[in-house]
């Protein structure tokens, strides 16, 4: 997973299943470390034994985790700078670090302003700079509105996947302003078509795509295999 990604859509649209596809790929990559913030507690916990850190509803813990990743990111930039390099190459042996967040709203619209502002600033900084040093963020939300997904955060997400949304505005909040008027609105997806969404990759046009369904048992098998590939249980 080399790009930051956001998945949004109304409840039951299929966001968790869509996020699972990204997580499955990360899980089976022996060179990947996965960190999770799961305000719903039960969505990402299926991956728990393959996670390097698992935070639930504590915004202080979420902030601390993002700060740790930013510190790793800054160390990587320093190393690149001191070695006179601009890009990460596979021979450097740097592990891919992936942060998964579900539900984004819990933190980006947190009632207490100081913590909310801090979390938002840190997350935007991480998303803006992490990709070049082999890190990525995957975020999911069932409330695609501008108070939950700030434009400055959405705009730096390289992959945007809008599952069925209640309104055209909600769809544009994930994909970017103007796509609904051009005929790409996730509000047009039939409510019965769970798992279908519009996926936009940087520089392209949204594509209608159905996620790959993974049952809890399949996820458990993928996690077990991921741990085996990586050489031992994490937690």
Ligand X SMILES: Nc1ncnc2c1ncn2[C@@H]1O[C@H](COP(=O)(O)OP(=O)(O)OP(=O)(O)O)[C@@H](O)[C@H]1O
Binding residue positions for ATP: 9-16
> What residues does 67 pair with on adjacent strands?
none
191 touches ligand X (CB under 6 A): no
As a whole number of Å, the CA-based R_g of the chain is 17
Cα separation, 137 vs 157, in Å, equals 9
Per-residue burial over 3-36, b if 16 or more Cβ lie within 10 Å, else e, is: ebbbbbbbeebbbbbbbbbbbbebbbbeebbbbb
Among 52, 70, 193, 195, binds ligand X (CB under 6 A): 195
Q: Structure tokens of 200?
A: 């936009």
Say how many residues touch ligand X, by CB under 6 A.
Answer: 14
- State the nearest-atom distance from the C-beta of 161 to ligand X, in Å: 11
Which span (8-16, 79-87, 110-118, 169-177) binds ligand X, by CB under 6 A?
8-16
- Interaction between residue 194 and ligand X (CB under 6 A): yes
Beta carbon of residue 212, minimum distance to ligand X (angstroms, whole number)? 6
Asked if 81 interacts with ligand X (CB under 6 A), we say: no
Q: Is the peptide bond before 158 cis (omega within 30 degrees of 0)?
A: no
Contact 172, 162 (CB under 8 A): no
Least distance from ligand X to the Cβ atom of residue 20, Å = 8
Binding mask 136-155 for ligand X (x = CB under 6 A): ------x-------------
Please report whether residue 187 would count as binding ligand X according to CB under 6 A.
no
9 is an interface residue for ligand X by CB under 6 A: yes
Q: Does 186 bind ligand X (CB under 6 A)?
A: no
61 within 8 A of 99, measured Cβ to Cβ: no
Write the Ramachandran bin of 231: left for phi over 0, alpha for psi from -120 to 50, otherwise beta.
Answer: left
Which residues, 202 to 221, sit near ligand X by CB under 6 A? 210-211, 213
Contacts with ligand X, residue ranges (CB under 6 A): 9, 11-17, 142, 194-195, 210-211, 213
């Amino acid at each position: 997973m080399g790009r930051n990604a956001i998945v949004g859509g109304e409840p039951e649209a299929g966001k968790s299943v869509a996020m699972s596809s990204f997580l499955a790929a990360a899980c089976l990559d022996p060179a990947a470390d996965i960190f999770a913030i799961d305000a719903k507690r039960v969505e990402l916990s299926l991956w728990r034994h393959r996670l390097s850190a698992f935070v639930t509803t504590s915004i202080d813990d979420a902030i601390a985790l993002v700060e740790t990743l930013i510190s790793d990111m800054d160390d990587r930039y320093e190393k690149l700078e001191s070695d006179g390099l601009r890009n990460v190459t596979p021979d450097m042996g740097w592990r891919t670090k992936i942060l998964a967040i579900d539900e984004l709203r819990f933190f980006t619209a947190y009632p207490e302003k100081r913590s909310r502002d801090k979390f938002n600033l840190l997350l935007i900084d991480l998303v803006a700079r992490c990709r070049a040093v082999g890190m990525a963020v995957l975020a999911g939300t069932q409330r695609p509105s501008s108070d939950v997904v700030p434009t400055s955060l959405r705009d730096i997400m390289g992959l945007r996947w809008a599952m069925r949304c209640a309104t055209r505005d909600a769809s544009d909040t994930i994909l970017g302003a103007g796509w609904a008027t051009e005929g790409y609105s996730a509000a047009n997806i039939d409510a019965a078509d769970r798992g279908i969404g519009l996926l936009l990759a940087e520089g392209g046009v949204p594509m209608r795509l159905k996620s790959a369904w993974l049952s809890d048992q399949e996820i458990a098998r993928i996690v077990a295999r991921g741990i085996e590939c990586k050489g031992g249980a994490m937690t």
